[in-house]
Amino acid sequence: MEPTATKDVYGIGEIPPLGEVPEKMHAMTIRRERHGRPAAAMQAELLDVPDVGPNEVLVYVMSAGVNYNGVWASLGEPLSPLDVHKHDNHVAGSDASGVVWKVGSGITTWKPGDEVVIHCNQSCGECHHCNGGSPMLCRSQRIWGYETTHGSFAQFCKVQGQQLLPKPKHLTWAEAGCYMLVYATAWRMLYGHPPHTLKPAMNVLIWGASGGLGTMAIQICKAAGANPIAVVSSASKGEYCLQLGAKAYINRKDFDCWGKLPDPSDPEGYRDYIRRVRKFGKAIWDITGKVDVDIVFEHPGEQTFPVSCYVVRRGGMVVFCAGTTGYNLTFDARYVWMRQKRIQGSHFASKHDADEANHLVMDQKIHTGLSQSFSFAETSVPHELMIDNKHPPGNMVVNINATVDGCRNLAESRNAQQHLSS
């Protein structure tokens, strides 16, 4: 039987008795009338703690990862999440570490007290894609904390039971809360599209290599014995990538071949454009020894896509999961068909991908790249940094109930809390 709640609401970082569910919780919400910059859009409110259905789980959130989803949700662009899930408020947050607090009647593999990290894919669980195929192709597939509410920027979040994975025990709550979204996405981009899967000695060009996706892509390539080639916008970011395992880095500011494909019916202008792209290609060849890259790990989109499609090798793959600089993507089709290149869209990951990837973290072969931690009240701050591309390399986190740094499990957090209040 569920314990009777002794309080209607707990303070941030105040840990209720295990399994006790208060009526209300502190949550960072976005409302339609506040769509805009995160500083204005994200506001703290008291909300009802959501109830769970048969296949759902309520998780007491320790730390919540910061991703672009929170930026897009704040802006309400390219669409408002409120129009997708139809609730009157949106609680963002698609990454978390935390503790299972209450389970639905159909959940058998998890129980209150289990320490977990959460992957953000939700699907129906019943169709043929969810059973033997890829749940990413399920017709009701959606991203938790973006296309659904009840995300992780709140004391409690609500997820499907299949979203839970064991928390790697060696990580602090903050380290554990910051990586799964970008890591599992990068994993699927590099392993999820056979036959173009990552193999030893492959050359992989990684855009935004010091960012969330990029830092994970570098480490995955390194672990596979491949050659990650980082593209960044400053020497300091480049150095960070080298430390992480990149073979070399290229500073994109040294080149001027960005943006949409120019009009090929202007032969002079087009020739000049190809000359500028080849200069970038030469920088890649200087690293690889005059061979083209096997895979381009793409996500900036409009600004870089034509170049990505040009520089990838014959029969190679440009795999992309976003269009951060714009989604009106262009490329010179002649180079793609004549050289039989593959352009592959990729979106988050299945539980299978996430679980496979998580084993390398548990094995301490992948660092979660925690860069900076923020408090619950500061939730909008890292999102403001991200929107302006001023965030530090790696992954940022908001500590929701993990208010004491360095704790790795619930017992340590309780002890630290008791110590503070005594």
Ligand X SMILES: NC(=O)c1ccc[n+]([C@@H]2O[C@H](COP(=O)([O-])OP(=O)(O)OC[C@H]3O[C@@H](n4cnc5c(N)ncnc54)[C@H](OP(=O)(O)O)[C@@H]3O)[C@@H](O)[C@H]2O)c1
Give the residues lining the site for ligand X (CB under 6 A): 67-68, 181-182, 185, 207-208, 210-214, 232-233, 237, 252, 299-300, 303-304, 321-322, 324-325, 347-348, 386, 389
Distance CA 396, CA 416 (A): 23
By beta-carbon proximity to ligand X, the closer residue of 67 and 134 is 67
Q: What is the DSSP string of 328-351?
A: -----HHHHHHTT-EEEE--S--H
Three-state secondary structure call for residue 302: coil
By beta-carbon proximity to ligand X, the closer residue of 168 and 214 is 214
Residue with tokens 């989604």: 327
The least CB distance from residue 322 to ligand X, in Å, is: 3
Within the chain, how many helices (H) and strands (E) appear?
A: 13, 17
Distance CA 325, CA 74 (A): 17
By beta-carbon proximity to ligand X, the closer residue of 62 and 75 is 75
By beta-carbon proximity to ligand X, the closer residue of 160 and 413 is 160
The least CB distance from residue 129 to ligand X, in Å, is: 17
The least CB distance from residue 414 to ligand X, in Å, is: 32
Angle value at C-alpha 159, between 156 and 75, nearest 5 degrees: 75
**Residue whose C-alpha is closest to residue 288's, from 175, 201, 168, 409:** 201
The least CB distance from residue 241 to ligand X, in Å, is: 9
**Quick one: 349 exposed, middle or buried, by C-beta within 10 A (0-12, 13-18, 19+)?**
buried
Distance CA 207, CA 308 (A): 9
Contact yes or no for 65/178 (Cβ under 8 A): yes
User: Which tokens hold the place of 315?
Assistant: 């029969």
Contact yes or no for 346/295 (Cβ under 8 A): no
By beta-carbon proximity to ligand X, the closer residue of 112 and 214 is 214
The least CB distance from residue 51 to ligand X, in Å, is: 28
Residue with tokens 């959130």: 61
**Residue whose C-alpha is closest to residue 38's, from 76, 64, 1:** 76
The least CB distance from residue 182 to ligand X, in Å, is: 5
By beta-carbon proximity to ligand X, the closer residue of 21 and 321 is 321
By beta-carbon proximity to ligand X, the closer residue of 50 and 208 is 208
Distance CA 138, CA 106 (A): 21
The least CB distance from residue 420 to ligand X, in Å, is: 33
How many CB atoms neighbour CB 120 within 10 A?
A: 29
By beta-carbon proximity to ligand X, the closer residue of 122 and 210 is 210
The least CB distance from residue 71 to ligand X, in Å, is: 7
The least CB distance from residue 45 to ligand X, in Å, is: 25
Handedness of CA 179, 182, 183, 185 (dihedral sign): positive
By beta-carbon proximity to ligand X, the closer residue of 156 and 207 is 207
**Residue whose C-alpha is closest to residue 351's, from 138, 186, 135:** 135
The least CB distance from residue 101 to ligand X, in Å, is: 27
Residue nearest to ligand X (CB): 211
By beta-carbon proximity to ligand X, the closer residue of 210 and 401 is 210
Query: What is the number of residues in the chain?
Result: 422
Contact yes or no for 64/174 (Cβ under 8 A): no
279's CB contacts (< 8 A; 6+ apart) are 255, 257
